[in-house]
Structure 1
Amino acid sequence: MNHYQFEQPIREQHQVKYTTTKWVNRIGIPIIIVGAILIGLLQIKSPEPADLNAQPDSFSSARAMEKLQMIAKEPHPIETPEHDKVRDYLISELEGLGLSPEVQKTFVTNEWRGHKFSGNIENIITRIPGTDNSKAVMIAGHYDSVPTSPGAADDGAAIAAMLETVRTLQVSGPLKNDVILLMSDGEEAGLLGAKAFTDEHPWAKDVGLVLNFEARGNKGESFMFETSEQNGWIVKEFLKAAPQPLAYSLLYNIYKLMPNDTDLTIFREGGLAGLNFAFGSGLDAYHQPIDTPENLDQASLQHHGEYMLSLTQHFGNLDLTQVEQEDRVYFNVIGWNVISYPESLATWFMILGVLLFAITVWHGIRRGHIHLKGMTGGFLITLLNLGIIYGVVTLLWNGLKAIVSEDEYISLLLDPQISLYYLLGLLILTVTTSFLLIRFLSRYIRTKNLWMGSLFLWLILCIVTTLYLTGGSYLFTWPLIFSLIGMNVSFLNREGSLTWISAVFATVGFILLTPMIRLVNDMMTLDLAGILMTVSGLAFTLIYPVFCRRN
C-alpha cells in the first residue's frame, strides 16, 4: 500500500466527522437558542379562568363576569346618568354582601402633570372589620370610565373582581386586619377620587397597604408593575403569597421615568405603601368602544382576582404597622418562579462581573486566545452592528409610516395580530443583519476577540444600570457573568466547541431579555421599533461565535 492509499481512508473519516459536526451544529445550536427564547416567553402566562362551579372559597372569573356585564353596559364617565346607574348598582351589590358602603361626595381639584383637573366625584367606600387590626389592607380600583368606552377592562374588571373577592372573603372567614374597599371615582378625569380619599377621608390614615388594580388593554397577563418606595418587605411578602406572580423590577424603574400615572401615584404621594397591578395587551381596546365584557380576556380577570384574593388574605393577617425595607431587584425566570434580592446585592454582583471580566481578559491573554487590540476591535464592531441595526430599522419604519395612512398606522401598532407579523419580520431582519455583518468581519478578527469585545459592552451596561437603574441591572449582570464563565470554559476546550459553549451560556441572556422585548412591544408598541430591535441585536451579541467563520 502506497502512502496515498494509506491516507485516503483517514481523510474520508475526517470529512465524515466534519460533516456530522457541521450538521449537529446547524440543528442543535438553533434548538438551544429557540428553546431559551421560548422559556423566556413562557414566563408570561395567565392562570386558567375558573367557571361558575369553582369552589366557593376561590376566585371565579365567571362569577365576576356576571357583575361586569352590569358594570360595563355603557360608557359611564363622572357626572353622567350612566355613571349614577353604575354607582347605585355597586352600592346595592355591596349591601347585598352584608356591607355598609358610604359615598364620599366632594368637589375636587387636582394639579396633575402641569394641568389642573376638577370635578364632582362620588367615591364608594366600605370596610370589613378584622379580628385584631394593625393597619388596614385597602383594595382600590376606579369605577368611572372615559366617555368613549364602556370600560370593561379599564377599570370594570377591577371593580367586578372586588365584588367577587368580598364574596370569597366572607366564605373563607375573617382576617386579622380590616379590609377597606375603595371604588374610586374620577380617575379618568385626573385621579380625582384618589385625591379626595387621600386628602379628606379619615380612613386614609388607617391604611397600611394599598392593592391597586388597573388595565391598559383588554387582554394579557396581569403584572405587578409598580410599588411604593422602600419595597423590600412588601415584595418578599408578595412573592410568598401570589400564586402566579409576574413581576420585573425593570418595569417599575422604567414606569417611574414615564409620564403615566394611576391612583397609586396619589396614594404614594400621600405616604401610603402599595402594589400596582395591570394587564396591558390588546391596546386596540384601550379607551375604545370595543372595551366591552364580551371582548375582555377572562384569563386577565382571573389573574387580577387571584392576586386580589391571595394578597388580601396574606397581608390581612400580617402586622402592617411597619412595611418599609430596602428596595429589591426581582424578575421572573422560568414560569412563575421569581428571583429577588436586595438592591445592595446588585452592587456586589456588579463588582463580581467586573472582577470576572478582568480575570477572563488575563486568562485569555495568558493562553494566547485574545489580545487587547483585537478585543477593542470586537467592541467597535459590536457598536457598529447595533448602530446599523438601529439605523436600518428606524429608516424602514419611518418609510413605512410615511406611505400608510394614519388610521392604517394606528391599526398596525395596536392590532396584536398585525403587529406580531411586523415584529417577527423585524426580528428576522435584525438576525440577518447581524449574521451577515459578523460573518464578513470575522475574516479580519479572531472570534474570541470579537466575543470578548461584545462582552465589554455588556460590562458597561451592567455598571451603568447598577448605578442608575438598579432594578434593571439584572438584565445585563447575569448574562455577562454567565457568558464570561463560558468564555473561560472555551479557553480550556478545543476551538470547535466554541459555538456550543457560547450558545449554552447565552441562554440566560435570552431567557431574561425575551420577555422584556415582548412586554415593551405590547405596552409601548412598535413605534419604538428601532430601540426594540437594537435590544434584540444586543441579545445576539452573546452568540457572536455562532455567526463567525472558524478562525
Structure 2
Amino acid sequence: MLEVLHSLANLSTPLHHGVIFLFNGAEENILQASHGFITQHPWAKQVRAFINLEAAGVGGKEVVFQTGPENPWLVQAYVNAAKHPFASVVGQEVFQSGIIPSDTDFRIYRDFGNIPGIDLAFIENGFIYHTKYDTADRILTDSIQRAGDNILAVLKYLVMSEKLADASEYRHGNMVFFDLLGVVVVAYPARVGTILNYMVAAATFVYLAKKASLPGNAGGRYVRDLACATGVAILSWFVTLLSVLIVALLITLLGRSMFWYNHFYACVCLYGAATTGKMVFIHTLAKNLYYGGVRLVELGDLYFDVSLLLWCCGLVWLTHQGLCSAYVPMLMVAFPLATRLLLAKEFKHKGNHTSILIVMKRCV
C-alpha cells in the first residue's frame, strides 16, 4: 500500500478521482476497525468502490476471490488492467457460501456501506497462517512485486474511469470470470453463462439420446451398459472416499494428524495412492465381471459417455441453482464433446475417401 501510494503521488497525470488508503487493525476482533470507518468516518460517504487486500497464507499468487456485488464493471476493470491476472468465481461462491469459517473486511464494506469492491488474498502456504512461523521473512519479494503490479494497474484504471463517479448506474447482475493459466481472464455476464450452459447440456443429451436410439437391440444394450457403467463410476467415488477416510483415521490414531500438511509428497503418497488404487480396482473388477466380452476401445467410449453424463448432470444442477461456478462442468463437457464430434467427423470423412479409392482401383 505504501509503494502504491508513492507511485500515485508521483504521477504526472492528474487523477479523476480521489484515493483513500485505509490502514486498519482489529480485523480478527470481529472486523471492528473497518466497521468503525464505514459507519462513522466522514470520508466513508465519498467512497464509490474499494480494493480489499487480504492474506490467508504466505506468498504465492494473490487471487481475486470476491467481487461485486452485481457490479460487472469492476470485474472488467480487473480484466482490462491486471498485469498478472489470477481470479475465479468459484472461490467467490465457495467463500460466500459459509463453508470456509472465515471472514474479511469485504463483507463490512459491502453490507454496511453498500459499496462494491474487489477482494484479493494470498493463499499459498496456509498452514503457516496465524502460527509462530508466520513471519515477514517467509514472504517472497516476488509475491509482493506481483501483487503491487496488479493493484497499481487496476487502481490507475479505476481512478481514471468515468463509471466510478456513479457506480450505482452499472449494477446489472453478476459475472462469470476465471483465468486461463494466469495469462488472461475470461469474463461474461451470468445470464449469458446460463444460456451457454443449457445449450451445452442440450447438445450432450442429444448426443447420448442418438446413441440410445440405435436400431435393433443396440440402443437398449447401450442404455443398460451406460446405466451400469454410471453405477460403477459412482461406486468408485464412494469407495475412494471411504478409503481416504480410513487412511485419515489411521494417521489420527497413530498420533500423526496433519503431519502431511507441510509435506506435499507425503500427501500424494498417502491419499493419492489410496484414491488411484481403489478407482483402478473398481473399474478393473467391473470390466472382468460385466464387460468380459467388450473390447477396450468400446469400454473407453462407454466411460467417456459416462463422464459426459455425470458432468452434464452437475452442469444442469449448478445452473438451475443460479451459480456462476457452473462454468467448470460446462468446460468439462463442451470441449470433450466438441473434440469427440470433430474427430468422429474427421475419421468418417477419411473413411469415405478410402472407400472411393478402393472402388476406383477395382474399376481399373
Using structure 2 for the length normalisation, give the TM-score. Answer: 0.83
Deviation by residue 1:187-206 (Cα, 9 ceiling, x = unmatched): 12221110101110111111
* Contact preservation (8 Å) 2:63, 2:87: yes
Which residue number corresponds to residue 479 of structure 1? 332
CA distance in 2: counterparts of 1:490 and 1:438, whole angstroms: 26
Measure the CA separation in 1 of the matches of 2:345 and 2:43.
65
Q: Percent identity?
A: 21
The answer to whether residue 12 in structure 2 is matched with residue 164 in structure 1 is no
Alignment correspondent of 1:281: 124
Q: Whose strand proportion is higher, 1 or 2?
A: 1
Q: CA deviation at 1:491?
A: 5.4
Q: In 2, distance between residues paired with 1:192 and 1:348?
A: 42
1:381 to 205, 209, 232: 232
Quick one: distance in 2 between partners of 1:191 and 1:486? 49
Q: What pairs up with 1:495-510 in 2 under 5 angstroms?
A: none
Which position in structure 2 is the counterpart of 1:438? Answer: 283
User: What are the equivalent positions in structure 2 for 1:229-240 lying under 5 Å apart?
Assistant: 229-240=69-80
* 1:304 aligned partner, one-letter code: A
Match of 2:242 in 1: 391
DSSP 3-state at the match of 1:289: coil
Q: Deviations over 1:470-512 (max 9, x none)?
A: 22111111111222234445656889xxxxxxxxxxxxxxxxx
Shift of 1:411: 4.2
Which residue of the partner structure matches residue 264 of structure 1?
Answer: 106
CA distance in 2, matches of 1:245, 1:183: 25
List aligned pairs for 1:53-452, cutoff 5 A: 162-173=1-12, 174-258=14-98, 259-270=101-112, 271-319=114-162, 320=164, 321-322=166-167, 323-365=170-212, 366=214, 368=218, 371-404=222-255, 408-413=256-261, 415=262, 418-443=263-288, 444-445=290-291, 446-447=298-299, 448-452=301-305
Contact 1:350 1:462 in 2 (8 A): yes
Q: Secondary structure at the match of 1:183?
A: coil
1:420 shift after superposition: 4.1
Q: CA deviation at 1:175?
A: 1.3
Quick check: 1:253–1:469 contact (8 Å CA) kept in 2?
Answer: no
Q: Which amino acid aligns with 2:139?
A: L
Residue correspondences, number: 328
TM-score computed with the length of structure 1 as normaliser: 0.56
Cα distance in 1 for partners of 2:322, 2:281 equals: 33
Q: Which residue, out of 468, 473, 476, partners 2:321?
A: 468
Partner-residue secondary structure (3-state), 1:179: coil
Q: Secondary structure at the match of 1:338?
A: strand
Q: Report what 1:119 is aligned to.
A: none
Q: Deviations over 1:154-173 (max 9, x none)?
A: xxxxxxxx111111112223
Give me the whole-angstrom Cα distance separating, in 2, the residues matched to 1:494 and 1:426: 40
Structure 2 counterpart of 1:457: 310
The verdict on how the C-alpha distance between 1:286 and 1:246 changes in structure 2, with shifts beyond 3 A counting, is same
Q: Distance in 1 between matches of 2:269 and 2:73?
A: 39
2:87 corresponds to which letter in structure 1? A
Query: Structure 1 residue 397: deviation in Å?
Result: 1.2
Distance 2:176 2:269 in 1: 30
* In 2, Cα distance between equivalents of 1:432 and 1:357: 30
**Would you say the 8 A contact 2:71–2:172 is kept in 1?**
yes
Structure 2 unmatched runs, 5+: 292-297, 349-364
| In structure 2, distance between residues paired with 1:466 and 1:374 | 28
295-304 vs 314-323, greater mean Cα deviation = 295-304
Asked if the contact 1:378–1:454 (Cα under 8 Å) also holds between the matched residues in 2, the reply is no
- Counterparts of 1:424 and 1:301, CA distance in 2: 33
Give the equivalent residue in structure 1 for 2:362: none
